[in-house]
Amino acid sequence: MLNSVSYDRRSFPRQQLQYPLNVDMKRCGRTFGQIVDISLEGMRLLCSMPVKRGTEYDLSFHMPAELYGDDEIQLSAQSIWTRPGPRKGTVLSGFRLTDYWQRSSNHVALSSVITEYEHFLKTF
């Protein structure tokens, strides 16, 4: 019997998103892409604009008001890899989180914010 070897070198498990969560570029306020999955260290985005490997991006998204009072989540992330996306004009990119900031005083881990976002959407 062959041994199964995992080549996933992540320290923390990925959390797949079931609902799209749009992420904006803070500099221009334009939609940058959607979070596909996230962990404590990074995330994978389906981007609607070109992504340059090794570049750090300042991004943000808003949580529904029912969860955090329309709290803005801001983060900086460095592109680690990028490849063509499933649709023309898109790219799939992996990012390492370098900074994370939440405006409200109820600061929680980004993965917890995403979990609460998905639980909120499932109620509809």
Tokens of 32: 């940058």
Give the chain's domains with CATH numbers: 15-122 (2.40.10)
Q: What is the residue-level pLDDT of the chain in tens, covering all 124 positions?
A: 444 444 455 555 677 777 778 899 987 778 999 988 887 788 899 998 899 999 999 998 876 666 656 667 888 999 999 999 999 999 999 999 888 765 554 445 565 666 766 666 566 4
pTM of this prediction?
0.71
| Buried/exposed 26-41: b ≥16 CB within 10 Å, e otherwise | beeeeebbbbbebbbe
